[in-house]
Structure 1
Amino acid sequence: MTSQEHRSVPTPVVGALGLLALGLVLLGVGGFVQFDDTAGFGSDQWVRPLGFIAALVAVAGVGVACLSAQARRWLGGALGVLDLFVIWQSVTNDGFRFVWNHDEGELFLLQVLLGLTALVLIATGLQPFKRPAGAGGRWLVRVAAYACGTAIAAYLAFNAGVWHYETQVCTNEDCDLGGLEGLFWSIIAIGVCVAVAVVIEVVLLVKRRQRRTEGQPV
């Protein structure tokens, strides 16, 4: 590797982390990140254009990270740390606001999205798709795929359960128990996804053992 090639490696890393930092700064300046919103009216202080710009900057950061495995690892790690920080603050600080309050479901969805994005970036950074034949299974990438699929299935099942309760079960305007049916449906969806993942892994394990027995690359 030449010195010029060596210097060019960190460029996507700097770009991805720089865009992430810029997005956080925009969220802070726009009033989307607060630590003392005990009254619950922090959203009145939002500068909404900065929020949209911050979202675009975050997406751009992920796009830059896709340029190299090293950048994906660094950005994935940074998003993981950010997600843990948001979860910690939302649990321990009643006045914390990261776009949404700690007691709003949208913040939970944001935390899940951050965690899944971090997992996918780290997985594809540690086990990139361009690997020599016979380099072994990409188990971490599969774990990320299972996690994303399970999260999507649980989300869809929850909303389907709420819709079913409100349209088919509830007979009055007070339908507060719709969330319980949605939760029940989402638990079933998670169980099905886990079972499917186990079956896939068993099938892949059997195939790897057969290839190893036949002397083929695993």
Structure 2
Amino acid sequence: MHTTSMLAPAGPFSDADRDAVYKAIHTRRDVRDQFLPRPIPDAIVQRLLDAAHHAPSVGFMQPWNFIIIRAQAERERIWKAFKSANDEAVAMFPEARQSKYKSLKLEGIRKAPLSICVTCDRSRNGDVVLGRTHNPAMDLYSTVCAVQNLWLAARAEGIGMGWVSIFRDADLKALLAIPERIEIVAFLCLGYVDELYEKPELEVKGWNTRLALEDLVFEDRWQGGD
């Protein structure tokens, strides 16, 4: 009996396609306030969400949802929640770093024409999920893969993206009517930008530097000390 194969060729990409993938990876940036007000066409938003939805997920659990926020009034309310948490965050840093922290412009929520809240439904596939039997956090890790897919697709489309992490979960859940059982994984700001930093902004502005890869790679076993 003849059966149709469900397999596809697994060879390498062409040089141009391969280089495009690496270009997206190496030039992706976390955009904070350089957004232009120009709206993102619906067709592109759909492509970005489709890219996110094609992320790998352990046990094919696909635990993500995407809340799209375009209304300025909604984004303003979210920004106020962010600002409240950000004011608290300043005091958590040593005094010597507080002025540098305050100098970082974190206005993406207000300036970007589109925000996306990415969530994880940890109950979607029941109590026992293939691949999550011994590591219950795999659904969260899978959702982060969706965020990365979305980020690289945005870079390919010429769209900047910023990941906002300074907020209280309870505040954002109340604003977006998110059930208590649902985990917020990422709040993202998206919009067109004229330019991107050649290096990560926090490196350019002296907050931190990229670690040397050779210091992070071990052979066969852990070699990084106790």
Scaled by the length of structure 2, what TM-score is found? 0.28
Determine which structure has the larger strand proportion and give its number. Answer: 2
Q: Which has the higher contact order (CA 8 A, sep 6+)?
A: 2
Scaled by the length of structure 1, what TM-score is found? 0.28
